[in-house]
């Protein structure tokens, strides 16, 4: 089963590459960003951007969180995601192993998995509705107590819709597969956020995040925050999240910094 799910995620990635490359020459005037556009990141909200990074651009997104709950207090970072535009409307990305450190004496601290992926921006209605499809997998490089067992493929679809006057709604559907876990083999995550651009360089959001495992109790949170563009290539952000049920963290507070470098490999 593990090999089958891994093969499915790999096949999805290959199909996405083939379709995106073949379609890239047919869609010169679409919503896929160029280097004239400001940085668009997958943070600080859980909902990832529906936009890919421009062709030939490298983007580094980083953050740190402090989480508190009934029986734990933890800090995690650097939450680093490396993204590179390899073709028009197509990027590769890698989530660098994240360190989770317990703030309680005797608590367990360790690194998570490395997770490569590929992302294709479909953009069915340029400038109004944007959609991306991503396929990736967390590889078993981290501590089992933090990251879980075995290879964990995932399929993801972030989207966004511009309402006008600086308002937008965003969402994401993700299906995580955990073939090596003894209990649940699959987890579904859904998000929905409302975003408001206060100025050209400043935006705020409110977001719902729900994690629904195949077996066990769900986690639900309300997340809110803001992002500020120091310039076209740099972003500083923050967020605060609150749990909606007993199975969720009581509170998560995070800060982040991201940057983009254009014109590489061209």
pLDDT along the chain (266 residues), means of 10: 40 41 45 92 97 97 95 93 96 97 85 97 82 97 91 97 96 95 86 97 98 93 98 98 95 98 86
Tell me what pLDDT residue 266 has: 60
What are the domain boundaries of the chain? 2-261
**What is the number of other CB atoms lying within 10 angstroms of the CB of residue 247?**
15
Which three-class secondary structure string do you get for 48-71?
Answer: CCCCCCCECCEEEEEEEEEEECCC
Count of all residues that appear for the chain in the document: 266
CATH topology of domain 2-261: Porin (2.40.160)
Peptide bond into 261 cis (omega under 30): no
Q: What is the pTM of this model?
A: 0.87
At residue 242, the 3 state secondary structure works out as: strand
CB 117 within 8 A of CB 136: yes
The answer to whether the bond into 190 is cis (omega within 30° of 0) is: no
pLDDT of residue 7: 39
Q: How far apart are CA 252 and CA 246, in angstroms?
A: 14
* Pairwise CA distance, residues 144 & 86, whole Å: 32
pLDDT at 31 (0 to 100)? 73
* Contact of 176 with 152, CB cutoff 8 Å: yes
Distance CA(117)–CA(135), nearest Å, equals: 6
């Amino acid at each position: 089963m593990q090999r089958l799910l891994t093969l499915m995620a790999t096949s999805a990635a290959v199909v996405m590459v083939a379709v995106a490359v073949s379609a890239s020459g047919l869609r010169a005037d679409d919503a896929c960003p160029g280097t004239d556009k400001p940085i668009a990141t997958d943070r600080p909200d859980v909902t990832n951007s529906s936009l890919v990074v421009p062709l030939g651009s490298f983007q580094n997104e980083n953050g740190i969180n402090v989480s508190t709950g009934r029986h734990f207090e933890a800090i995690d970072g650097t939450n680093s995601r490396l993204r590179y535009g390899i073709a028009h409307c197509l990027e590769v990305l890698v989530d660098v192993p994240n360190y989770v450190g317990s703030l309680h004496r005797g608590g367990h601290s360790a690194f998570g998995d490395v997770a490569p992926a590929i992302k294709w921006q479909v953009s069915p209605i340029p400038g109004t509705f944007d959609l991306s499809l991503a396929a990736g997998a967390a590889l078993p490089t981290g501590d089992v107590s933090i990251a879980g067992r075995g290879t964990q493929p995932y399929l993801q679809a972030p989207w966004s819709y511009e309402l006008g006057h600086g308002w937008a709604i965003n969402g994401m559907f993700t299906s995580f597969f955990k073939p090596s876990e003894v209990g649940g083999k699959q987890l579904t995550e859904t998000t929905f956020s409302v975003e408001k651009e206060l100025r050209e360089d400043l935006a705020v959001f409110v977001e719902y995040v729900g994690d629904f495992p195949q077996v066990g109790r769900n986690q639900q949170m309300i997340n809110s925050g803001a992002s500020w563009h120091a310039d076209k290539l740099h972003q500083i952000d923050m967020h605060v999240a609150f749990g909606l049920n007993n199975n969720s963290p009581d509170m998560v507070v995070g800060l982040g910094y991201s940057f983009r470098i254009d014109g590489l490999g061209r």
